[in-house]
Amino acid sequence: MTAAPAPDGALPAPDVVGASARVRLDEVIHAPVRLSIVAALAATDEAEFGAVRDAVEVSDSALSKHASALEQAGYVAVRKGYVGKRPRTWLKLTPPGRDALAAHLAALRRIAGDV
C-alpha cells in the first residue's frame, strides 16, 4: 500500500519501522534455499542430509553449498559418520542458528505488518 502524496506532490517519508526491520534481516539465511534449510532443521534435533535435500527439493550439490555457508556462519553443525559401511552426513541447527531464524522471522513479520 503506497501512501498518498502530500498536497505539494511529495511522497511521505518511508516507514521507519519497516526500514529498521529490513536492517535486521539476516543476509546469510535470507536466501530462499537457506531459509528453507534452517526452517526444516528447526523442526527437528538433527536430520540426515538426504532427508533435508528431499524436504527442500534441491540437488546434493546445492544443499552442500548452502549447508557450508550456514556452517561457516555458525548456524548449522555438520556431522559425518557411517551407517553400516555407508557414509552419512547429518545437519543440525545450532543455538545461534535458532536465534538467527527467530530474529529473521520477527523482522519479516515487522516488515509485513498486518498483511
pLDDT band at 113 (very low <50, low <70, confident <90, very high): confident
Q: Which helix (H) or strand (E) holds 84?
A: none
What CATH number belongs to 25-106? 1.10.10.10
- What pLDDT is attached to residue 112? 85
Question: Which residue's C-alpha cell is 509485513?
Answer: 112
Total H helices, total E strands in the chain: 6, 3
The rounded distance, in Å, linking the Cα atoms of 36 and 57 is: 9
- What pLDDT is attached to residue 77? 99
Q: Which helix (H) or strand (E) holds 90?
A: strand 86-93
Mean pLDDT, residues 21-48 taken together: 92
The rounded distance, in Å, linking the Cα atoms of 47 and 91 is: 5
Q: How does pLDDT run across 65-97, given as a tens digit for each residue? A: 999 999 999 999 999 999 999 999 999 999 999
- What pLDDT is attached to residue 1? 46
Quote the cell numbers at residue 113: 505488518
Quote the cell numbers at residue 91: 545437519
Q: How does pLDDT run across 24-37, given as a tens digit for each residue? A: 799 999 999 999 99
Which one is predicted more confidently, 27 or 22?
27
Quote the cell numbers at residue 12: 511521505
Q: b vs e for 29-54, b when ≥16 Cβ sit within 10 Å of the residue's Cβ? A: beeebbbbbbbbbeeeeebebeebbe
Indicate the DSSP class of residue 8. T
- What pLDDT is attached to residue 19? 58
